[in-house]
A = this chain, B = another copy of it.
Amino acid sequence: MELSSTAHVILGMLSWRPMSGYEIKALVDRSTRFFWAASYGQIYPELRKLSAAGLIEGKAEPRGGRRRNVYRLTPAGRRELEAWLSVDAETFELRDEGLLKLFFAEAGGSEAAIKALDAKRRDHERLLSRLEEMEATGRPDGFAYQVLRYGIECNRWQAEWCERTMRELEKELDAESRRSA
């Protein structure tokens, strides 16, 4: 049986501790979201499939009158997670609309390029702030911390690249306008 990529996020989260679908979603949003997102529309159906496949086990654990299903990894699930870890990753996908706008900015003049760079810089800075806050409020254990550091450093790098490139373009623009003056 072929497992979807999101299935491994669930197996991974459950390798830390038993959790409900709601908790998995909340944890994803606070940790992997910036490089691997998952929605309820994926998580709940996937929990059923993994349960049917015997890789996880669910148990009703209501909190008060609120129903709640907590899942935990089975031995087979742990083996599947380890098998996944032992093979090289396949998926690396990036969709960066800001870069696309810069790419085609000729059609909007130099201001379009500056604007695209500025917006992209702000986006990376916004994410950077959130990640730095996460580090300050409760730094994750183990390798998850390296990943958080990656997020922080990589977004800082990207924000700086935007700033640097923007300054270069502005300098060129300036030189151009002086020449024509």
User: A86-B112, A89-B120 are contacts. A81–B107 as well, Cβ < 8 Å?
Assistant: yes
Using a Cβ–Cβ cut-off of 8 Å, how many residues does chain A contribute to the interface with B? 62
Chain B residues with CB below 8 A from A150, complex form: 99, 161, 165
Closest-by-CB residue of B relative to A158 is B154
Query: How many copies of this chain sit in the oligomeric assembly?
Result: 2
Q: Quick check: A34 and B94 within 8 Å, CB to CB?
A: yes
Q: Quick check: A99 and B15 within 8 Å, CB to CB?
A: no
Q: How far is the CB of A9 from chain B (nearest CB, A)?
A: 7
Answer yes or no: A119 CB below 8 A from chain B CBs: yes
Q: How far is the CB of A54 from chain B (nearest CB, A)?
A: 18
User: A94-B94, A116-B89 are contacts. A32–B103 as well, Cβ < 8 Å?
Assistant: yes
- A residues near B (Cβ < 8 Å) are 5, 8-9, 11-12, 15-16, 31-32, 34-37, 78, 81-82, 84-86, 88-108, 112-113, 115-116, 119-120, 123, 141-144, 146-147, 149-150, 153-154, 157-158, 161, 165, 169
The 10 tightest CB contacts between A and B, nearest first, are A12-B104, A89-B97, A85-B108, A89-B98, A91-B97, A88-B119, A93-B95, A35-B96, A85-B112, A105-B143
Given contacts A85-B101, A91-B95, A146-B169, 6 further A-B contacts (CB under 8 A): A9-B100, A32-B100, A35-B95, A81-B107, A89-B97, A154-B161
